[in-house]
Amino acid sequence: MQNKARHHDRSIAVSSLYSLDFRNALDSDPATIDPFQGMNEEEIAALDEEDRIFIRFLVFGTLQNREQIDELISKYSINRPIEKIDLVDRNILRVAFYQLAFSKDVHPAIVIDEAVKLSQELSNDVSFRFINGILDTARKDMEV
């Protein structure tokens, strides 16, 4: 059950970051950021405390390290500048790179698998290949 919950948590984190990115609000004061934006009170109440903590961890950790994360995305997205990457894909990559490079609390294969699944659910039919390629190349470099 925890894997499904974590997948849902990552989806919420990506949605929150997407919303901030769409509104050009990624640099907002963290005190003003609601990691549960777009969710109603019932949906938030349905999350247990562990899920809420994990979502905050992903959103605020990604935001805190965004500059370095974006540099990593740019490094591995050779043919597509970060500003040209679709907003959904860019924020899936941000959450995944945060976990790969900064939190290291989840095995890299799981991080990549989750990012691919999120891409298949939230993005277009081909983005998952792009995301998988970038993250797999980064994972191999980070293992060395």
Domains with residue ranges and CATH for the chain: 2-143 (1.10.940.10)
pTM of the model: 0.94
Among 50, 129, 53, 60, residue whose Cα is nearest residue 89: 129
- CA distance linking residue 119 with residue 93, whole number of Å: 9
Q: Is the dihedral of CA 68, 113, 127, 30 positive or negative?
A: negative
Which residue's structure tokens are 């924020």? 91
Q: Over the chain (144 residues), what is each successive 10-residue block's mean pLDDT?
A: 82 97 92 92 95 97 97 96 97 98 92 98 94 97 82
Supply the pLDDT for residue 2.
66
Question: What tokens does 25 get?
Answer: 């609000």
